[in-house]
Structure 1
């Protein structure tokens, strides 16, 4: 009797798993290059052989997406009516084949704003057990823009300065690496005290030998871009040097006035 009960329970579990809607997006993450026309696949299986009504919806949620703007479209079967939200009109459609259980989302000219988690949901009256929805992350790939190199601090003997490097665009976010050449444009090993982190190259207690050319490479899985900046380390200006400079300017000005 116990064996029969166990068998029946197992059959019930198997039947329950089969007799439940199953929505599936094959991968958890998709990567495409900005500007591409893409397809996010979605399949569904239902327990009903000829459902009287099927409602398919796609939505997308990002960190800054308001709750009332997540819905992209809703498709109704039979009838073939697709209601597309105004924000997506002209760039989305849904490819539906009920017989094969297809409900793919087609999205054209993707932008960085499409870096979101997308959800495919299928609603069938009387078949609401199982997995009625599935999600996947869309990552829009963008090559790093030409980085901007800057010097922070005074390039004078004994000072500490930072060389900064930043690309305004890039997805995934770029990583940065600095290289250095001396005044003869020869590669050189960086000072052991130098730190290179997050696009900031920190140079400590700089001297004449610090002078040279500094090249930053910004890269991600798409491509890379570089910028370079010359650094000329000079002795600190003294009050005497400043006074002499002011006098020279005044003398020149006076001479021009007399002429």
Structure 2
């Protein structure tokens, strides 16, 4: 029994020695993930050694381990039969290559170019040369450096007020920290300021003129840093009462100007409307045209002249004494009311006829004329 137990121990030791002396991956397994900034290149190290008993064909396989156990791993690159195969349909297609032109010499490392955040994952290097098989896993974390931060002021920048300086990066891998420094004057943050490195704010309580100056904010994470600059000017509190009064006066003046413009517009519109109505109105008290009256007067005068020509001196005396009922009144007499029409003196015709008869003259009747020269 003791002899058989010793034989079993020798056999196990020989097998263990054979295994340890065969194919080995000499690269140390990293206990922490490999972190790299987005856009850079990374080398995944996988060095190996072969033993004399490893006589089979050499195969080197790199794969992306699936995060879900229900899914298969994705092969990203393969070396078999002294040839590299790189055209696998994976997220790193065209960006992964062997570090050595001849991996069978013991360098199975690969380089991934221009890494992206989506390249984050667990990668496995498997080296096979029968009867030896070894593999190594490593975790890659692709981090994005902070984007250029934006610096701005929150709140009022007047004396005696609380001023908040804020710094924010829109992109970048967490965690990110923020730091502030003053680059002008005393180059020291105000004594009343409070810095929050997580939110990226500096709160200046009861700001004074000494807080004015240039400030710089730096955003940092594990793969990079970015900066922005801000100018702070703390000014005295303005005269708000004067500003309010001036604003009210300006508003009233604007309203007054608008009222004057509307008044002038309405007045011009009403005047135009009134003139249009006056032009279209038919007046009832307009006298008839004078051309007809002139024609009638001319006809009457012509008839009287013809009658006078055929009268004798004795008839003329009687004609002068007769009232002239067929005489056409002038325009002034026509327009004058009957109560205001002047009566001819009763003795004028008698005296004229008596004097003419006594002196042996022949009375001649002179036709009357209006102001415009028409014969009545």
Match of 2:341 in 1: none
Correspondence for 2:74: 71
Following superposition, the deviation at residue 250 of structure 1 comes to: 0.6
Contact 1:21 1:132 (C-alpha < 8 Å) held by counterparts: no
Structure 1 unaligned blocks of 5 or more? none
**1:35-61, CA deviations, whole angstroms, 9 ceiling, x for partnerless residues?**
445432312345652224635123267
Map 1:120-131 to 2 at 5 A: 120-123=125-128, 126-128=131-133, 131=134
Write the distance in 1 (CA, Å) between the matches of 2:246 and 2:115: 58
Which residue of structure 2 aligns with residue 119 of structure 1? 124
- TM-score, normalised to structure 1, is 0.67
Residue correspondence of structure 1 range 1-259 to structure 2 within 5 A: 8=10, 11-12=13-14, 15=17, 18=20, 21-26=23-28, 28=30, 30=34, 34-45=38-49, 48-52=53-57, 54-59=59-64, 71=74, 73-78=76-81, 80=83, 82=85, 83-94=87-98, 95=100, 97=102, 99-123=104-128, 126-128=131-133, 131-137=134-140, 139=142, 142=145, 144-155=146-157, 159-169=161-171, 175-180=177-182, 185-192=185-192, 194-198=194-198, 200-203=200-203, 205-209=205-209, 211-213=211-213, 214-219=215-220, 222=224, 224-232=226-234, 235=237, 243-244=244-245, 246-254=247-255, 257=258
The structure in which a higher percent of residues are helix is: 2
- TM-score normalised per structure 2: 0.50
Greater relative CO, 1 or 2 (CA 8 Å, sep 6+): 1
- What is the root-mean-square deviation in Å for CA atoms of aligned residues? 4.5
Question: Match of 1:85, SS?
Answer: coil
Unmatched 5+ stretches in structure 2: 262-376
1:247, distance to aligned residue in structure 2 (A): 0.6
> Which is richer in strand?
1
Bigger CA drift: 165-174 or 210-219? 165-174
The number of residues matched between the two structures is 251
How far does residue 217 in structure 1 lie from its aligned partner after superposition?
A: 2.6
| Higher Cα Rg, which structure | 2
1:142-177: CA deviation from partner (whole Å, max 9, x where unpaired): 4x4432012334445665443221234556865422
Distance 2:8 2:136 in 1: 31
Distance 1:138 1:124, change over 3 A: farther
2:351 corresponds to: none
Q: Give, in whole Å, the separation in 2 of the partners of 1:252 and 1:245.
A: 11
Alpha-carbon distance change, 120 to 160 in structure 1, aligned in 2, over 3 angstroms:
farther
